[in-house]
Structure 1
């Protein structure tokens, strides 16, 4: 009976359903065995697809319907394995096995239950979290081809606070990605950039054909509020997953860089630290000792020492935003450091191990008009980008006059920053 018990437990692990076919309820066994064979078949097909064209798996893994089906199937498998394992323990008849073997048999059965039913339940939970995050964060919409071979995404770091009227982008960037190689350039625009021009034919161009002139200090960062105060200029913004303020910023960024901005991503800087904490912190090489604290404080809260530092979310936010020391251009450089560090931390192994926390944090701090149908394409491109250095261009003095901009010169700088070697080079 001890030998029989070990055989039954082993068969339940290797071929769920076979135990019932051999020694129990054959109807249950045939159902369990059939489900096991289907599971194996799907697993083999997935492995084959991974080596033939993994983009198919990426597309399925970012599709809400496919994720829902996967969640249902995995949850059903978890319940089935639970039922089969308990039924196997009934058939084993531990009381008739050798006394010394009983605890071992029970332990092996429980470990197998955790590995099978527990693993399937956990995978079902991840599928549900992924589906909910995609549905919550990403918009509906159609697939778009790259413009001149690139996808250009406006990245805004939103800084809304009790001492501010509305939201003002504290960080303004364009992430331009080569659709074939994954080569990425981050173009930084200072929020105190003045006399911004707009893409021709846009609502803001009609309102300010000679550039942004509000009659006072007309900074690029103020355009979000300007747009929010003129919602009639962008009547379709809400239905397209955007806002009037975001669209005003998009028109300005297009006009300043000469690039077509297909999508935007707005990150809530107040909740930004949650995402960094979910990733396990970020590594920053601090170039020189830096004081941090609010600009209103007479003394700093503390200092970042020069050299490599591992920062949690709160400290990374202080590093990126501190106004106590330095100027806006230095803050831009620090913000770009943080952005690059997050991209580097977004490697597949790190994201998978902390997936639920990353997904939940991302859903709280990110707003975007990137459609769900584009996700598989961007995941594919992001995988290529991981192996390449990130190019950066800061549109700041002395290269750029941010008070009286020379746009032909800026357009040349932007185009030159996009020229980078492919992985094969």
Structure 2
């Protein structure tokens, strides 16, 4: 009877349902075997797709329908495994096995039950959590096409933190990505650029035909990041469709200004506030940065008193220290801050892969769903995640529109700025005759 118990429960582990085919309800056994083979077929297909067509797999795994299907399949299989295992215990008649054999067989099958059914159940929970998170952050909209073979995404870092009122973009970057190769360049725009031109057709182009603030503006300071504040607070009616399209009037105004400055068409945006950035880094387990010099953490709102220092060298920073590394102003310039912000952005792109994000999806969902806004469609995530994997394998370029590159924020030559931008976003020409 001990051998019989081992055979039945061992077969139940290898091929769920086989124990019932041999010694129990054959209808239940056939159902269990068929479902188990279908489950294995789904797993094998997923493995093949991860190599042959990763975009397809990622698209399924990031869509609402796909995530619900994954959750239901895993939950159903967990319940089925539980039913088959409990039934196999009954068929094994453990009460007639030897005391030692009974204990060992029962413990073995119980451990396998917990591992398999528990893993499947937890996977179903993760899938529903991921679906809720993605639905909160990303929008339902058609995918936009590349412009000149590239996707240009406006990245805004807002300065709404626990010690501040309101929000204005403190970090302004365009990530320009080749739609085929994943080659990317980060273009940093100083927040204090003045006389920003607006792209043709923008409602602000009529209000400021000679550039933003050329004859004053509706807020106290007429700089690039003030465009967001002015439109959000004073004239949101200029962009009546912004909210319905997953954006905001201030963000759309910033998009028009950045397009006018760089000459690039901006398909999407992503905005995260400072506290959200800190929480996001913590949820991902920190970020590794090679600090070229020590950076101070301030103890006052005026950024003059130093509470502690982030040492120079390779540091694994939590969210608090990463935020201050990007934000610190003591004895430094805005352009130094921009360089550190770009370093952090590159580190996030390079270090956080789909695999480690997947293992921390609950923490990411708790940290990000209320502090990150974007108009990237959920249906495009599979494509962009796959594109990001190509980006991580390549060097990430950088262009800072700062005085070091002969750009004067107080009176920029925007024709020259567009030449700089075109130089780093032009397609790479390969000479086939090169030996």
Fold shared per TM-score above 0.5 = yes
Q: Who is 1:404 aligned against?
A: 411
Displacement of 1:361 in angstroms is 2.2
Alpha carbons of structure 1 residues 422 and 317: separation in structure 2 relative to 1, 3 Å: farther
Do structure 1's residue 221 and structure 2's residue 207 form an aligned pair? no
Displacement of 1:295 in angstroms is 4.8
Structure 2 counterparts to residues 205-244 of structure 1, below 5 A: 205-213=205-213, 214-215=216-217, 217-228=221-232, 229-244=234-249
Q: Who is 1:260 aligned against?
A: 265
Structure 2 counterparts to residues 134-213 of structure 1, below 5 A: 134-161=134-161, 166-213=166-213
Q: Who is 1:273 aligned against?
A: 278
Gaps of 5+ in 1: none
Q: Judge conservation of contact 1:263–1:369 (CA < 8 Å) in 2.
A: yes
Q: Who is 2:84 aligned against?
A: 84
Task: State the secondary structure of the residue aligned to 2:100.
Answer: coil
Cα distance in 2, alignment partners of residues 88 and 163 from structure 1: 61
Task: State the secondary structure of the residue aligned to 1:270.
Answer: helix
Displacement of 1:410 in angstroms is 0.5
Q: Judge conservation of contact 1:290–1:325 (CA < 8 Å) in 2.
A: no
Structure 1 residue ranges (4+ consecutive) displaced by more than 4 angstroms after TM superposition: 161-165, 419-423
Counting matched residue pairs gives 425
Cα distance in 2, alignment partners of residues 166 and 372 from structure 1: 28
Cα distance in 2, alignment partners of residues 17 and 347 from structure 1: 38
Alpha carbons of structure 1 residues 161 and 4: separation in structure 2 relative to 1, 3 Å: closer
Q: Judge conservation of contact 1:226–1:248 (CA < 8 Å) in 2.
A: no
Alpha carbons of structure 1 residues 283 and 304: separation in structure 2 relative to 1, 3 Å: same
Q: Who is 2:388 aligned against?
A: 382
Alpha carbons of structure 1 residues 51 and 164: separation in structure 2 relative to 1, 3 Å: closer
Q: Who is 2:317 aligned against?
A: 311
Displacement of 1:131 in angstroms is 1.2
Q: Judge conservation of contact 2:161–2:274 (CA < 8 Å) in 1.
A: no
Q: Judge conservation of contact 1:198–1:211 (CA < 8 Å) in 2.
A: yes
Cα distance in 2, alignment partners of residues 155 and 396 from structure 1: 18
Task: State the secondary structure of the residue aligned to 2:181.
Answer: coil
Q: Who is 1:64 aligned against?
A: 64
Deviations 1:386-424, CA, capped at 9 Å, x for gaps: 10111111111132111111011101111112257699x
Alpha carbons of structure 1 residues 344 and 121: separation in structure 2 relative to 1, 3 Å: same
Deviations 1:110-161, CA, capped at 9 Å, x for gaps: 2211232112112111211221112111111112210000000000011125
Q: Who is 2:115 aligned against?
A: 115
Q: Judge conservation of contact 2:186–2:397 (CA < 8 Å) in 1.
A: yes
Q: Judge conservation of contact 1:295–1:324 (CA < 8 Å) in 2.
A: no
Cα distance in 2, alignment partners of residues 47 and 280 from structure 1: 27
Cα distance in 1, alignment partners of residues 51 and 301 from structure 2: 54
Q: Judge conservation of contact 1:295–1:323 (CA < 8 Å) in 2.
A: no
Displacement of 1:297 in angstroms is 5.6
Q: Judge conservation of contact 2:310–2:321 (CA < 8 Å) in 1.
A: no
Residue range with higher mean Cα deviation, 181-190 or 162-171: 162-171
Cα distance in 2, alignment partners of residues 292 and 18 from structure 1: 64
Q: Who is 1:289 aligned against?
A: 294
Alpha carbons of structure 1 residues 59 and 162: separation in structure 2 relative to 1, 3 Å: closer
Displacement of 1:312 in angstroms is 0.4
Task: State the secondary structure of the residue aligned to 1:364.
Answer: coil
Q: Judge conservation of contact 1:181–1:422 (CA < 8 Å) in 2.
A: no
Q: Judge conservation of contact 1:183–1:422 (CA < 8 Å) in 2.
A: no
Aligned-residue RMSD, C-alpha: 2.0
Do structure 1's residue 337 and structure 2's residue 349 form an aligned pair? no
Deviations 1:71-123, CA, capped at 9 Å, x for gaps: 11211111111111111122222222222222221221122112321121121
Q: Judge conservation of contact 1:329–1:396 (CA < 8 Å) in 2.
A: yes
Cα distance in 2, alignment partners of residues 103 and 314 from structure 1: 51
TM-score of the pair, normalised by structure 1: 0.95
Cα distance in 1, alignment partners of residues 46 and 11 from structure 2: 24
Q: Judge conservation of contact 2:303–2:328 (CA < 8 Å) in 1.
A: no
Alpha carbons of structure 1 residues 200 and 70: separation in structure 2 relative to 1, 3 Å: same
Q: Judge conservation of contact 2:139–2:377 (CA < 8 Å) in 1.
A: yes
Residue range with higher mean Cα deviation, 354-363 or 125-134: 354-363
Q: Judge conservation of contact 2:276–2:372 (CA < 8 Å) in 1.
A: no
Deviations 1:347-385, CA, capped at 9 Å, x for gaps: 233223323222332323210011122112111211111
Alpha carbons of structure 1 residues 248 and 297: separation in structure 2 relative to 1, 3 Å: closer
Cα distance in 1, alignment partners of residues 240 and 358 from structure 2: 40
Residue range with higher mean Cα deviation, 386-395 or 159-168: 159-168
Displacement of 1:311 in angstroms is 0.5
